[in-house]
């Protein structure tokens, strides 16, 4: 609740700064940290990417800045309306809403960029402005939450109440955690395996809250995993496909992305990547596909990435490059449908504890 007031105040202050410059007869300008690649550094202390000291100055006097400048002011205005009225909106919504104010964005990418600018200027994430991406990730497990969204204040929900899981949307993101019996979080890349885990009662057998990332985890989901890890003080384990892309899904949950270098509180530095590892492919003799050229290129990129300097990651990258094969999570089905839950999962949870 306090955060909402902070956000509103931040937006109002931003508007006031511009108003005052105009009122004094100046062309307004805004200073913000540069998000260019030269200004993105990996900070081992906070274990995520951060922005350096370089600043950019957006000036309304400059004709090339004028349009994005105006869009930024509009986005701030629009976000303020959303927060003040406790409404939420999606990135797509913002793109279309702009047209109602004759503030056309060229495409979705342009409007997304401006929203990122606003995040950078105010140092709040877009979810704080009630702007959410299209959701597709879900959570399932014994955790009781209490809503804070208008119309649901005080209502509680146990996250085992729906076998498909509960969508991690604006309402869940802003909910308070009430109580849980779980002692770990298991994040899963793919919907098929998430459903299997629910069917096989993984949440009971392993005392776990299951989170479906549905591919690369959205920011709200990353923030949610962080909250589970911090607020409930329970460890998080991540299961992905055994390929460079799956590996990176885990890494973004752990250490964040360069794109979100201007934001904090999206990472879970203590989360563990539990599989599928390249060495698992070898040890479990999993059915595989060959790595293609893009996979290999990606592996070489990751090998040089500061987030991957840990020996475990380096070992797995090397193994991938050696065996030149990849495997999906579903590959365990060759040993029967429950093998992954009965054999693989407990072994790996133990191994990465």
Partner 1 sequence: MAKTTFEEISAADFFYRNRDIAGFTNPSRGVFAAVRELVENSLDAAESLKIPPDIYVRLSYTGEAGRETKVYKLRVKDNGIGVPPRHIPSAFGQVLFGSKYKLKQQRGTFGLGGKMAILYGQITTHQPALVISSTGMSKIYAYKLRIDIQRNRPLILDRRVLINKERWRGTIVEFSLEGDYGRAMPKILEYLKQTAMVNPYANLTFVDPKGRLYRFTRVTEEMPDPPKETLPHPYGVDVELLQRLIQVTPYRNMFEFLKNHFHRVGETTARKFLEFSNIRPSKNPKRLSHEEVVRLMRMLKQFREFLPPNASCLSPLGEKLLRAGISKELKPEFVAVYQRRPSTYAGHPFIIEVAIAYGGEIPRKGSFLIYRFANRIPLLYDEASDVSVRMMNSMNWRRYKVTSDMPIAIAVHICSTKIPYKTVGKEFIADRLEVRREVANGLRQVSRRLQRFLTRREHVDRERKRLDVFSKYLPKIAQFSTQLAGKEKNPDIKKLLRGVKKFGT
As annotated, the active-site residues are: 96
CB 204 within 8 A of CB 183: no
- Helix count and strand count (H, E) for the chain: 14, 17
Planar angle of CA 124, 125, 131, nearest 5 degrees: 125
Query: Shortest distance, CB of residue 74 to partner 1, whole angstroms?
Result: 5
Position 16 contacts partner 1 (CB under 8 A) = yes
Task: Closer to partner 1 by CB, 70 or 156: give it.
Answer: 70
CB atoms within 10 A of CB 313: 19
Binding to partner 1 (CB under 8 A) within 67-96 occurs at: 67, 69-70, 73-74, 76-77, 80
Task: Closer to partner 1 by CB, 19 or 96: give it.
Answer: 19
Position 105 contacts partner 1 (CB under 8 A) = no
In the chain, the DSSP E strands lie at 29-33, 40-43, 48-51, 55-59, 89-90, 131-132, 138-140, 143-146, 156-158, 166-167, 176-180, 184-188, 208-212, 236-239, 272-275, 289-290, 325-326
Position 168 contacts partner 1 (CB under 8 A) = no
Query: Shortest distance, CB of residue 63 to partner 1, whole angstroms?
Result: 6
What angle, rounded to 10 degrees, do the helices at 63-84 and 2-23 form? 140
Binding to partner 1 (CB under 8 A) within 197-236 occurs at: none
The 23-62 site mask, x for binding partner 1 (CB under 8 A), equals: x-x-xx-------------------------------x--
Q: Is the peptide bond before 74 cis (omega within 30 degrees of 0)?
A: no
How does DSSP classify residue 133? Answer: P
Position 15 contacts partner 1 (CB under 8 A) = yes
Tokens 């274990």, residue located: 47
Candidate list 7, 94, 98, 103; residue touching partner 1; CB under 8 A: 103
Candidate list 4, 52, 56, 66; residue touching partner 1; CB under 8 A: 66
Total binding residues for partner 1 by CB under 8 A? 26
Tokens 């604006």, residue located: 170
Q: Which residues are at the interface with partner 1 (CB under 8 A)? A: 11-12, 14-16, 18-19, 22-23, 25, 27-28, 60, 63, 66-67, 69-70, 73-74, 76-77, 80, 101-103
């Amino acid at each position: 609740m306090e955060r909402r007031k902070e956000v509103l105040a931040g937006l109002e202050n931003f508007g006031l700064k511009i108003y005052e410059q105009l009122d004094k007869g100046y062309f307004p300008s805004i200073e913000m940290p540069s998000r260019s690649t030269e200004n993105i550094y990996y900070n081992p202390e906070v274990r995520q990417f951060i922005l350096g000291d370089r600043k950019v100055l957006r000036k309304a006097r400059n004709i090339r800045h004028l349009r994005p400048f105006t869009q930024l002011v509009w986005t701030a205005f629009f976000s303020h309306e959303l927060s003040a009225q406790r409404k939420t909106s999606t990135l797509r919504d913002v793109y279309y809403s702009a047209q109602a104010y004759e503030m056309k964005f060229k495409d979705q990418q342009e409007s997304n960029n401006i929203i990122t600018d606003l995040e950078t200027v105010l140092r709040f994430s877009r979810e704080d402005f009630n702007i959410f991406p299209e959701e597709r990730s879900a959570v399932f497990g014994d955790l009781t939450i209490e809503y804070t969204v208008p119309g649901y204040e005080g209502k509680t929900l146990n996250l085992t109440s729906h076998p498909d899981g509960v969508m991690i949307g604006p309402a869940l993101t802003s909910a308070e955690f009430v109580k849980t019996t779980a002692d770990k979080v298991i994040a899963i890349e793919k919907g098929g395996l998430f459903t299997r885990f629910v069917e096989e009662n993984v949440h009971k057998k392993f005392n776990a809250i299951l989170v479906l990332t549905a591919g690369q985890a959205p920011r709200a989901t990353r923030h949610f995993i962080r909250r589970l890890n911090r607020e409930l003080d329970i460890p998080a384990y991540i299961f992905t496909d055994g390929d460079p892309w799956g590996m990176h899904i885990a890494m973004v949950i752990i250490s964040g992305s360069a794109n979100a270098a201007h934001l904090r509180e999206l990472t879970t530095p203590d989360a563990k990547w539990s599989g599928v590892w390249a060495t698992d492919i070898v040890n479990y003799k999993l059915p595989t596909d060959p790595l293609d050229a893009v996979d290999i290129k990606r592996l070489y990129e990751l090998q040089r990435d500061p987030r991957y300097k840990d020996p475990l990651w380096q070992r797995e990258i090397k193994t991938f490059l050696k065996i030149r094969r990849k495997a999906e999570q579903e590959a365990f089905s060759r040993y029967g449908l429950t093998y992954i839950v009965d054999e693989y999962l407990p072994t790996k949870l133990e191994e990465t504890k």
